[in-house]
Structures are given as C-alpha cells and as structure tokens.
C-alpha cells in the first residue's frame, strides 16, 4: 500500500474528507426525496450498513422542501445532488445540507454558479465538483461540441482524460475567483482504466480531496469487478478520500461492498465477522460449500465482533489458515478439526461441525467481552483511517504540466 496522498481537508457536517481523515464511504438514495418517510428510512438503512454520508437527489422544489425533515432525522450528514437548477442548490444550502454536489457544466448561467459558491462559502459547505463521462461533452454550443468530439476521436481514453482535466480547470477557475477551496473533485467513467488514469492525473495536479467512483457500473454482479478494479487500484496507490460504489440495485449493496473494500485495504476498522474459506477442490471430503454458506449466515446473524473465522477443506492449507484465524475448522474425511486462536481444540464429526464452530465463536466472543482475549483483527489490522495528515497543504494546484 502506498501512503495516502496528502490533500486539503473539507468538512461535511460531522465528516472530514481528505487531509488524512479516514476514507469516507458514501452512497445515494434511490427513491424520491420528497417521499419523506421512505427517504428517511432509506437514509437510515444506508447509515446502518456503514455509510458515513448519504446523497439525495433534489431535482424539484418539493425535494428541497423535504430536506429539513430529512436532515433532522438523518444519523449521517446529507449531501444534496444538484443538476441543471441552481435554485435547488440555493434551497438545499438554506435547508442546511452538509455538502453540495454540483456540475457547473450543466448550470447555464455562470453568475448562478457563483451565487451557489458564495452561499456555500458563507456557510462553510463544501462542494463536490465533478466531471462524468456521460455528460462531459458540451451539448449547447455546437461548435464546441464538435471540437470536443473531435478531441476524442483518435484516442478516446487519453482524449477523455484530457477533456476531464480541461473541464475541471475551467470549473475551478470560478472557485478560485471566489477564493473558495472547500472543494472535492470527481471524474467518473464506466471504464475502470479511464477512472484510474483520470484520478491519477487529477491527484498529480490538484491537492483537493478526491471522490472516487465508477459511473453507471451496472448491477452488482458485473459492476462489482468494474468498481473494485478501479477503486481498489487507486486506494492502494494512496489516492482517494471518499468513495461511492454505484450499482443498479439496492444501494445498501454499494455500502456493503464499499465497506468490505475499505476493510480489506486496512482503511477502515472491521466491525463484523471476517470469513476465510477455501474454494474447495478434488481433495474435499465434506460438503464445504454448504458449510461455508451456513457459517456465513450464522455469523452475520449472531456475532457482532470482527472475529476472523476460517473454514478450510483439507490439510493442504487448512492448518496454516487455522493458525491465523480466531476460530477455524479444517475438514478431513467426515470430520473436522477445530482451532481457537491458533490452538487445536477438538475433532468433531461432519454433522457437528457447524454447531461446534459456532459454539467456539460465541465462547470466544464472550471472552473478548470480558477482556480475556483479543481478536486477530484487533492486533493484525493496520490502524484505522489514514496516516497523520501533516500540515495542511497551502497551495491549490500542484505545479505540474497540464495535459
């Protein structure tokens, strides 16, 4: 893992983004914001799943009118997602949202963008400024549109990254003019390679914190790989201060996968059981898939500690994984050997493996609660969050070549 890149820090309500703060996990509600009860319920589900911030769309006045009630009931800071209508941004700011997502490119009048910036500056509300592959090419000005399309013709990926940087430069000039620097940047594409290139280039050019995401990634079954390829690569390279995984599905799944990604990379402390299991092969002599599924289900419903549990199929890798887990089993012909914190405990028959493993998990959890044991995840994991931020960077741009 590369140490995290130092950035400026912005504050969205109770959540700090960048400047060494832990990578913030965010998601977005999928329902209508003006359906207040349903929106609050969805915000709460996302927060319970682990979201640090939740974004809501405010396309209509009735959506911003719903914000005070939603904000009052939300356990996490709320971000207003604004497109096209600057009035929605102004209403959301007055309602007290913690952050605004704004694409200056789709707000027609520059004066209106400046008014939004001034209102945010007055209330210390950060703005996420984004460029998105789907909407980056100019639509209103035909000449400019033709020029931008032409710039993408030869080498689409490189051309798109250049265009993203050029647009961000253009937008940020407005923010510079207003001396407003509570900015978070984003540059999303459906192609993970472009996402990696774009954020790498942006991180070399600006010291603003970055919001990572792969846009329109699709359903979790396909979008998961697309998203993790890009976000995992960037985070491992020290780039990224807040993330959103976006799926065409219940957004709780975005939060679950985002949380797991951050836990896997040591960027977030694990709070729930971690299950390690072998893939099974021709050496297997028990029904391992069923055992793994049953253990996973039971752990999720019964154990609230970050206990590391291993379920292994045979002696090849079983003992090694068992010794590194809190509670583990490795199977042999019709039986399994249980380990607890590296020590062999007992041998059980195949039909008793699930119950015996869970009994050991519960017993260990009780010992942890009494302060008599420490979990592997508490001693192995890198510290939560990020390295010390050091001093706050003072420059807005880094002196690197534009391209």
Nearer to ligand SF4, 171 or 330 (CB): 330
Q: How far is CA 359 from CA 135, 285, 340, 354, 388, in A?
A: 54, 23, 11, 9, 40
**What does the per-residue mask of binding to ligand SF4 show for 159-188, with x meaning CB under 6 A?**
------------------------------
**Hey, is 309 helix, strand or coil?**
strand
- By CB atoms closer than 10 A (0-12, 13-18, 19+), residue 177 is exposed
Question: Residues near 67 by Cβ (< 8 Å), separated by ≥ 6?
Answer: 33, 56, 58, 78, 80, 91, 92, 95, 96, 97
Distance of closest approach, residue 354 Cβ to ligand SF4, in angstroms? 17
Nearer to ligand SF4, 100 or 278 (CB): 278
Q: Which two tokens stand for residue 390?
A: 């050091």
Nearer to ligand SF4, 70 or 277 (CB): 277
Distance of closest approach, residue 225 Cβ to ligand SF4, in angstroms? 22
Residue 82: Cβ within 10 Å count: 27
Crossing angle of helices 142-153/156-177, nearest 10°?
A: 130
Residue nearest to ligand SF4 (CB): 313
Nearer to ligand SF4, 89 or 278 (CB): 278
Nearer to ligand SF4, 22 or 318 (CB): 318
Question: Residues near 57 by Cβ (< 8 Å), separated by ≥ 6?
Answer: 28, 29, 33, 63, 81
Nearer to ligand SF4, 58 or 295 (CB): 295
Distance of closest approach, residue 300 Cβ to ligand SF4, in angstroms? 22
Task: Pick the piece of the chain touching ligand SF4 (CB under 6 A) from 191-199, 251-259, 281-289, 301-309.
Answer: 281-289
Answer for the pair 155, 94: CB distance below 8 angstroms, yes or no.
no
Per CB under 6 A, the list member of 209, 251, 313, 336 interacting with ligand SF4 is 313
Rule CB under 6 A: say whether 310 interacts with ligand SF4: no
- Of 198, 206, 229, give the one whose Cα is nearest residue 398: 206
Buried b / exposed e along 204-231 (16+ C-beta atoms within 10 A) = ebbbbbbbbbbbbbbebeebbebbbbbb
Per CB under 6 A, the list member of 317, 347, 349, 374 interacting with ligand SF4 is 317
Distance of closest approach, residue 314 Cβ to ligand SF4, in angstroms? 3
Rule CB under 6 A: say whether 289 interacts with ligand SF4: no
Answer for the pair 26, 55: CB distance below 8 angstroms, yes or no.
yes
Rule CB under 6 A: say whether 119 interacts with ligand SF4: no
What letter would DSSP give residue 67? H
Per CB under 6 A, the list member of 220, 306, 318, 336 interacting with ligand SF4 is 318
CA 39 to chain centre: 20
Per CB under 6 A, the list member of 78, 186, 230, 314 interacting with ligand SF4 is 314
Nearer to ligand SF4, 97 or 288 (CB): 288
| Site residues for ligand SF4 per CB under 6 A | 278-281, 283-284, 312-314, 316-318
């Amino acid at each position: 893992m590369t140490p995290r890149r130092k950035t400026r820090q912005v504050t969205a309500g109770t959540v700090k983004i960048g400047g060494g703060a832990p990578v913030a996990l965010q998601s977005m509600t999928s329902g209508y914001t003006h359906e207040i009860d349903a929106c609050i319920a969805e915000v709460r589900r996302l927060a319970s799943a682990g979201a640090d911030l939740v974004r809501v769309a405010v396309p209509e006045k009735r959506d911003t009118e719903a914000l005070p009630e939603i904000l009052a009931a939300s356990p996490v800071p709320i971000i207003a997602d604004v497109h096209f209508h600057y009035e929605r941004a102004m209403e959301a700011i007055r309602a007290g949202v913690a952050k605004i997502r704004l694409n200056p490119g789709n707000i027609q009048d520059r004066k209106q963008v400046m008014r939004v910036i001034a209102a945010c500056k007055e209330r210390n509300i950060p703005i996420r400024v984004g460029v998105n592959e789907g909407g980056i090419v100019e639509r209103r000005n035909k000449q400019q549109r033709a020029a931008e399309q032409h710039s993408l013709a030869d080498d689409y990926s490189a051309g798109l990254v250049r265009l993203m940087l050029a647009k961000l430069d253009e937008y940020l000039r407005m923010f510079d003019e207003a001396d407003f620097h509570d900015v978070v940047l984003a540059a999303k594409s459906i192609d993970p390679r472009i996402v990696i290139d774009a954020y790498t280039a942006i991180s070399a050019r600006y010291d603003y914190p970055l919001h990572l995401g792969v846009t329109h990634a699709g359903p979790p079954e396909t979008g998961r790989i697309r998203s993790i390829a890009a976000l995992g690569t960037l985070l491992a390279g020290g780039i990224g201060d807040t993330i959103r995984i976006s799926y065409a599905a219940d957004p709780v799944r975005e939060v679950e996968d985002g949380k797991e990604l951050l836990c896997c990379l040591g960027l977030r402390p694990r709070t729930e059981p971690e299950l390690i299991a072998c893939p099974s092969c021709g050496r297997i002599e028990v029904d391992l898939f069923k055992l793994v599924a049953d253990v996973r289900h039971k752990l999720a419903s019964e154990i609230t500690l970050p206990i590391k549990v291993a379920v292994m199929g045979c002696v090849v890798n079983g003992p090694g994984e068992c010794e590194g887990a809190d509670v583990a089993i490795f199977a042999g012909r019709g039986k399994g050997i249980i380990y607890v914190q590296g020590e062999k405990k007992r041998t059980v028959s195949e039909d008793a493996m699930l119950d015996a493993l869970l009994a050991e998990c519960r017993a260990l959890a009780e010992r942890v609660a009494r302060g008599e044991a420490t979990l592997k995840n508490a001693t192995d994991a890198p510290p939560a969050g990020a390295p010390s931020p050091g001093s706050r960077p003072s420059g807005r741009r880094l002196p690197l070549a534009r391209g």
